A and B are shown apart, each in its own frame.
Chain A
Amino acid sequence: MLKDFLLPFTSYKYLLYQLTLREIKARYKQSFVGYAWVLLNPFAQLLVYSFVFSIVFHFPTNNVPYIVFLYAALLPWTLFQSSITSATQSLVDNSTLLKKVSFPREVIPYASVLSKIVDFGFSAFLFTGLAIVLRVPIAPTVFYIIPIFFIQLFLTTGIALVFSAFNLFYRDIQYLTNLLLMLWMYMTPIVYPLSLVPNKYVWLYKLNPTVGIIEGYRSALFGYPFEWTIIGWSAILSAVVFLMGYYLFKRSEKYFADIV
């Protein structure tokens, strides 16, 4: 059981590496500015949002410049969103492999998620640069982003596994994913601070596991107090989502070659 679970990182780790590499390389091979697109896209999005929400709306951000406040949340959100979108598509895109070669199928969506983590790493450099330029002090609690990152990773992978498998059966999933992620983004405190959510609904709002994750990143970076209850809730929910996703994926895996 545990051995099967670890297979993508043991016997198949070179395959996982090659598929991840393929995802990354394929993206910049034919474009002019190449890999820079990975940074340019979210950066442009960042500028638009920060124009709209800092100049037009004016949100309270506890002395952190709005653009940095936003970036700290937009960065992990972009990772979440792009991982799920690309993983949902991944099995369909690799249908020829599903029909010909046997290997643990979860390697394919894992590779999608991993390649997005690489992008995330590059964007994180840009964030650091921005924080230095704008003289935003980074709190000593910054290392807490590591466990929070893993909570996010389990949630992302769990959803990625379910969606990628279901998309093989029904192609609606890929469209549904875009819709769902757009709604989900506005149900998460990314462009606005959590403090703006009306007190009456805040308990309900906090049931969303991405709230704990995004707030966790901000607390770690800017030294806001940690709300451990919501982070804990996110951790529990992420573990449940991952286990269920993995179970469903493995259950349906043996039919993949028959239905593609």
Chain B
Amino acid sequence: MKPIIEFIHATKQYILQEDRTFKELIPSIVFRRPLSRKYKALNDLNFSIYEGETVGIVGKNGAGKSTILKLIAGVTYPSQGKVSIKGRVAPIIELGAGFHHELSGYENIFLNAAILGMHKLEIEQKVESIIAFSELENFIHVPIKKYSTGMQMRLAFAVAIHIDAPILLIDEVLAVGDEDFQKKCLQYLSELKKTHKKTIVFVSHAREAVEEFCDRALLIEEGRLVMDGSPKKVFAKYD
């Protein structure tokens, strides 16, 4: 089997730009201070994820989990090494991103789905099913600034799972929303998992969710891969 996601000696170095205005930039140039510091978020990372796998990425805050997701989503690029992704990626975006709070839930479905790469026809075909999944039928024509955080999340999740992409990225999103909806999402993801058609990358602090749901877990510490194994073993080491 060929890997669908592959990190080969991937290193990501961020340049921390400290001056965001000319007021700070000009003195730096005049006094020849270095304009930026460098910071290694990921260090020589090697792993592969195969088609149909569900992999949890575990680690403390600042360990480099989000950088890994960014590299998979294709919004940033490794400084050294290679990241190869085969297929379209559907990121389940965190709360609010890609939504416009003045627009209605219905309008936001089209906007958000377009951002995630869907075409008009595809959205029109799926919009009923998206609304049904979100359970927001009664509020769908209300501006989403009137929605609770949980409701916004339901809408975002409902849109994201309707994207026909082989790779699904889930970043801590299940932490918000009411318990019933969380259950529904996990149930949906479990069903999806059984088909072995989607590759799911899951970032979470929630031990239960990862252990229950993932086949494999990667433990990241200070930008390095410390352990790659079953979620149980990984969490034993993590704690």
Contact = CB atoms under 8 A, between A and B. Distances in A.
Given A170-B25, A258-B14, A29 B103 contact: yes
Contacts of B110: 18
B75 A100 contact: yes
Nearest to B74: A102
A237 B147 CA distance: 49
B127 interface: no
Contacts of B97: 96-97, 99-100
Contacts of B17: 169, 259
B102 interface: yes
B202 to A, nearest CB: 16
Contacts of B116: 101
Contacts, number: 83
Given A103-B115, A170-B21, A171-B21, A26 B14 contact: no
B2 interface: no
B77 interface: yes
Contacts of A30: 102
Given A170-B20, A259-B17, A29 B143 contact: yes
A172 B25 CA distance: 11
Contacts of B93: 96, 100-101
A22 interface: yes
B120 interface: yes
A99 B20 contact: no
A14 B25 CA distance: 39
Contacts of A38: none
Contacts of B115: 15, 18, 97, 101, 103
Nearest to B120: A14
Most chain B CB neighbours (cut-off 10 Å) among A26, A30, A257, A258: A258
Given A15-B115, A170-B22, A102 B103 contact: no
Contact of B91 (A17, A21, A101, A257): A101
18 contacts: A14-B120, A97-B98, A97-B115, A99-B97, A100-B73, A100-B75, A100-B94, A100-B97, A100-B98, A101-B115, A170-B20, A170-B21, A171-B21, A172-B22, A254-B77, A257-B76, A258-B15, A258-B76
